[in-house]
Amino acid sequence: MISHRHGFAAMLLWCVAGAVAGADDPEADYARARAAFQAGDTAIAADVFAALAARHPDNADYLLGHGQALLATGHPAAAVDVLEQALALAPDYADVALVLANARRALVALEAADVADPALVQAGLVADLQQPPGPGPVTVTWGVESTRTERDDNWRDVVAGAEYAWSRRTRLGARAARSQRFDIKDTLYEVYGSVSLSPRLTLAGRGHYSPTQRVRLHYGGIGEASLVLGHGFVVSAGGGRLYYDNGPSDLATATLEHYFSAFRLAYTATVVQPRGGPWSPAHRWSAGWYYGEDSRFNLSGGFGEETDETVLGAALLRFDTWSAGFHGRHWLTSAFGFDYAAGYNGLESDRGDHLDRTAFYVGIVTRF
């Protein structure tokens, strides 16, 4: 493979090769082009390699040189085309395969750079060429959430989960939660995943199931699509249906995000329609900070209407709701970190029912 060393030897080779080159001596031209490339004169090397590849399209060495010169001069798409031709001629040529892989990476990075703010890359919304940070693709979490209601009820949830990530945006995971609310124990299982279809488009989904459904939903699913618009903006839209003992609830949601520097701002609108009743809207704002190796901190607040299937067992009772809180993940090492969250949620119905809740969550996370 062509190296990028500079120095006197490369310049000497360039002079000697130029002096002995004939009018139609492809090997001499190849030597001149190699010498120019090694000396850092990629523009001259690109011209000579291009002429060689045009005259001898069946020579893998000439195509390799042409492809590497194209890549070095900032033309990854053209480099991929040329190197694919070289690989077709010489499938076992390791240098061709390596440079082709580099050209493909550069091409996707160039496409992503057209729409990506650095914060998008750090958030994992654009960069899809590498495994997530850390020792390996598997992440395991375990945590406890404690909630105290206005009526002095103490709720507790124990949550465990595992996730496998092929890349930052293509992953599959599962969670299990064991709850104790109103002295009733319940279990909920969740499976979720996402897949990147292009540097701009990501599809995600999640499904829920509870074999007990005493205060939890019975089953349901939600899907969402996210599109990078450019200049740090991302728009997402989705919806789904959740089934409770007393009927289904349909929901739709849309989010507009803006990433800049190491920060994120977002607005989310959600509407829920329980059992064919009226749609209940809710609004949520959030701000995030991405720092270190995949660590993050988020603030959020919201207000709207809510129909909580677990509140007083009354699916058609609507509440005015407001909330504020924070959550995040901090990595102490590349393999070990912790999750944390705290929040307040207030609910008040037209008939005077109150159910304010204060929740705290702490968990450990490891990846390998």
Collapsed DSSP state (helix, strand, coil) of residue 46 = helix
Spatial distance between the Cα atoms of 238 and 266, rounded to a whole number of angstroms = 16
Task: Output the pTM of the full model.
Answer: 0.65
Length of the chain: 368
Torsion angles phi and psi, residue 116, rounded to 5: -105, 130
Residue 314 scores a pLDDT above 80:
no
Encoded tokens for 191? 């499976």
The CATH 2.40.160.40 portion of the chain extends over 138-367
CATH code for the structural domain at 138-367: 2.40.160.40
Least Cα distance to 295 among 235, 344, 234, 336 occurs for 336
Q: For residue 26, which amino acid is it?
A: P
Contact yes or no for 120/126 (Cβ under 8 A): yes
The pLDDT tens digits of the residues spanning 127-154 come to: 554 455 566 789 999 999 999 887 777 8
User: What does the block give as tokens for 324?
Assistant: 């504020």
Q: Which residues, 6 or more positions from 333, have their beta carbon under 8 angstroms from its beta carbon? A: none
Q: What is the pLDDT of residue 124?
A: 63
| pLDDT at site 217 | 85
pLDDT of residue 259: 86
CA angle 198, 202, 203 (to 5 degrees): 130
Among 108-122, 269-283, 329-343, the range scoring the smallest mean pLDDT is 108-122
d(CA 198, CA 225): 12
Q: End-to-end alpha-carbon separation of the chain, Å? A: 34
CA 49 to each of CA 11, 34, 43, 311: distance values in angstroms, whole numbers, following the listed order = 18, 9, 10, 73
d(CA 111, CA 134): 25
Q: What tens digit of pLDDT does each residue of 208-266 get?
A: 999 988 778 889 999 999 998 877 889 999 999 999 877 888 999 999 999 887 889 99
For 152, list phi and psi in degrees, rounded to 5.
Answer: 65, 25
% of the chain beyond a pLDDT of 70 = 81
How many CA within 13 A on the CB side of residue 226?
23
**Torsion-angle region of residue 68: left (phi > 0), alpha (psi -120 to 50) or beta?**
alpha
pLDDT tens, residue by residue, 172-210: 999 999 998 777 889 999 999 999 887 788 999 999 999
- Mean pLDDT score across all residues of the chain: 82
Residues of the chain within CATH 1.25.40.10 domain(s) are 8-113
232, 120 Cβ separation under 8 angstroms: yes
- 63 is written with which tokens? 């195509």
Q: What is the CA radius of gyration of the chain?
A: 29
Confidence at residue 113, expressed as pLDDT on a 0 to 100 scale: 54
Superfamily (CATH H level) for 8-113? Tetratricopeptide repeat domain (1.25.40.10)
Q: Does the pLDDT of residue 65 top 50, yes or no?
A: yes
Tell me the C-alpha distance between 157 and 178, whole Å.
Answer: 6
